[in-house]
Amino acid sequence: MNRKLPHKDPADHTTWKGKFIRRLILVLGLIVMTADKAQTQDRSGTVSGSVVSAGTDDVLPGATIQIEGQFVGTIANEDGDFSIFISEFPVTVIVRFIGYLSSTRTFRSAPPNPIRFALSPSRLDLPEILITGENPAINIMRRVIEEKRRWRESFETYKVKAYNRFRMENDTGIVSIWESSTLAFWDKERGIREISLDQKQTANMEIDELLPAALFMNNLYDDDIEVAGHTIMGVTNKDALSYYIFSLSGTRAIDDQLVYDIDVRPRSKLGSGFIGSVAVLDSVYALLSAELEPGAAFLFPPPIKKLTVRYRQQFSRFGSDVWLPVDLRSSIALDISFGGLLSFPTFYIEQFTRLSDFELNVELPDSLYESNDIVAADSTLISTMEIAKLEDLAIPLTVDERAAYETIDSTMTLEKSFKPRGLLARFVNMTAGSSDGTEGRNRDRRDGGRSGSFLPKNVRLNFEPAAWHNQVEGWHLGGDLGLDLGSGMVLTGRAGYQTARKDLTYGGDLRLGRRTWIEVGYLDHVPRRYRSDIQGRFLNSLSVLASQPDYFDYFHEQTGFVSIGTRIPGWRTASVQIKFSDSRHHNVVRNISGGLIGRADTVIPNG
């Protein structure tokens, strides 16, 4: 049986054809958008690898890795490894190391495996050193100083991405690590401000505050460098030629350019100056690198037995002829000893700082300078910028550092890592405290106290170090010695020395009774005007040593007091206390403006 097919209007065919074409265009558009998105993702990535010497395979720590035509770069770590984040491919990567030919490679996308750069020694014919007449090093450094004065005037501001890592060690190995990355802004008149991007630390560190990164960078090109309260003249200061002895020790090459190696030391052994060497690039007369440490006059009073600080830094050209630091590697060793009575393991601190993506003479947001905070968290400002992660800015961790992150837990405290030695070591309570004289003094001295073999069984002795660093006292070095005589009688003595004020703190008290007590005492000290649950003595000391402004204000107090108190039954720690005191308060001033690794960019007056 024949069926009659329904009649189709030609207009319906046209409509169906139009819908099909529109759907086809939509699908093709989605495919193109997806492909474009994938291509955009492929445009960014990381180039990582190692830098070694060709032929010997010796690692070249500190080798610089630069993106051609950009102000983006990094350095190789102690193992010769590097990692650099690329925001958009293709790029050409240049690897340099003084004494070697540079190696250049072009990448059109992120390589799947680490890249090995093997640099060949430079074969440039180096001139023989002949010294006739004036020492050639003097003329070279004169040109360096003149060139610096010229290009230093060419910029007023800059913006830069910064990364910093501290590694603390004792005699046996790594104790802790803390890292930070920031976006830093520098103004010639207003100083530095940083926006925190990210930070990371081993599990045994409890640093809750925002850490800077660029502020930790000590620029060895500066006229003066502040190191642990000492102001040391820089080797490119306008007066450096009359203060230092410069001598040409040799020549090297980087590609086809001559590099002068110049040794430096103070003219006077009594003068506070640097010793070490600098590398100067011929024809442009700019520092390529510096390896410096404070000289013999870098001394501190007891109980600081020894403090050594060594700097290694490299510089690169930015803009037409501006030379700025790209890294800083610092090695710090601190020995504290009270002779045979008490000493601590050596504190070792290694610092690695990297600066990248310099932008010179940019307009800086005024909001950055509305407060005195050097470091802030500004999510609004960050959202307007393309910011890399900490891992993208970091200098790669060494094998030992990676192992430290995996193995160090919260129980491996700094107190355990730096347990003291000596006759009094058994009486030392290393629990981190922040005594201002009255804090903790009302504790039962039997808690944590120890009975020595030379003491009666009912007598207990307890010693608590009172060591910290701030911009008023400098180092405060001393402690509290508590003697529990039994029957509720506790005698406490306190003494300390302030290195910046060159003065003593001292005091003592006698407490009678345990559940109900009476206490009488006297204190001559420099306490904080207020306490903080966020920032304690320990963290503030780290901040000041790292050249940050002091968090606290201080005053000089001389006080005598009598207090009567009783514990509330049923409560372990609750008590009621009445205190009568007669106090005299005096203003104090900030005596230092820098820390171990430089000068605080902003010094807030003590109020």
* Residues 246, 135 contacting (CB under 8 angstroms): yes
Distance CA 219, CA 323 (A): 11
111 and 176 in a single domain? The answer is: no
374 and 461 in a single domain? The answer is: no
Cis (ω within 30 of 0) for the bond into 303?
yes
Report how many domains make up the chain. 3
417, part of any domain = no
Regions in the chain scoring below 50 on pLDDT: 1-6, 8, 10-11, 32, 34-41, 432-434, 438-448, 451, 602-604
DSSP label at 73? E
150 and 224 in a single domain? The answer is: yes
530 and 562 in a single domain? The answer is: yes
Total Cβ atoms within 10 A of residue 573: 7
576 and 506 in a single domain? The answer is: yes
CA 411 to chain centre: 24
pTM over 0.85: no
57 and 180 in a single domain? The answer is: no
Task: Select from 315, 345, 347, 349 the least CA-distant residue to 330.
Answer: 349
C-alpha distance from residue 436 to each of 469, 482, 496, 503 (Å) = 13, 16, 12, 16
580, part of any domain = yes
Half-sphere exposure of 568 (CA within 13 A, CB side): 7
529, part of any domain = yes
Q: Cα angle vertex 443, ends 440, 447, to 5°? A: 120
Residue 36's pLDDT is 45
pLDDT digit string (tens) for 472-495? Answer: 998 888 888 888 887 788 889 999
Secondary structure tally for the chain: helices H, strands E: 8, 31
DSSP conformation letters of 542-559: HHHHTTPPPS--BEEEEE
Residue 305's pLDDT is 85
Task: Select from 290, 306, 297 the least CA-distant residue to 246.
Answer: 290
Residue 367's pLDDT is 87
Distance CA 494, CA 480 (A): 5
List, in order, residues 6 or more apart from 312 with CB less than 8 Å away. Answer: 62, 289, 290, 291, 328, 329, 330
11, part of any domain = no
Task: Select from 333, 312, 351 the least CA-distant residue to 171.
Answer: 333
SS3 41: helix
Q: What are the φ and ψ backbone dihedral angles of 86, each rounded to 5 degrees? A: -110, 120
Q: In the listed set 87, 119, 151, which residue is the last one of a domain according to the structure?
A: 119
460, part of any domain = yes
455 and 591 in a single domain? The answer is: yes
345 and 467 in a single domain? The answer is: no
Distance CA 165, CA 20 (A): 60
Domain of residue 384, CATH code: 2.50.20
Domain of residue 115, CATH code: 2.60.40.1120
Residue 273's pLDDT is 94
List, in order, residues 6 or more apart from 264 with CB less than 8 Å away. Answer: 235, 244, 245, 246, 274, 275, 276, 277, 278, 292
C-alpha distance from residue 570 to each of 443, 515, 565, 574 (Å) = 18, 12, 16, 9
SS3 492: strand
Total Cβ atoms within 10 A of residue 216: 26
508 and 561 in a single domain? The answer is: yes
Q: In the listed set 119, 154, 172, which residue is the last one of a domain according to the structure?
A: 119
473 and 557 in a single domain? The answer is: yes
Q: In the listed set 119, 152, 175, which residue is the last one of a domain according to the structure?
A: 119
430 and 396 in a single domain? The answer is: no
Domain membership of residue 381 as a residue range: 136-407
62, part of any domain = yes
List, in order, residues 6 or more apart from 205 with CB less than 8 Å away. Answer: 176, 177, 178
Its sign, for the CA torsion 207, 211, 213, 219, is negative
* Residues 70, 60 contacting (CB under 8 angstroms): no
501's tokens: 């004020």
DSSP label at 216? G
184 and 330 in a single domain? The answer is: yes
Q: List, edge to edge, every strand of the sheet that includes 103-107.
A: 73-75, 64-67, 91-96, 103-107
pLDDT digit string (tens) for 179-190? Answer: 999 999 999 999
Its sign, for the CA torsion 142, 144, 148, 150, is positive
37, part of any domain = no
* Residues 80, 116 contacting (CB under 8 angstroms): no
284, part of any domain = yes
Half-sphere exposure of 261 (CA within 13 A, CB side): 13
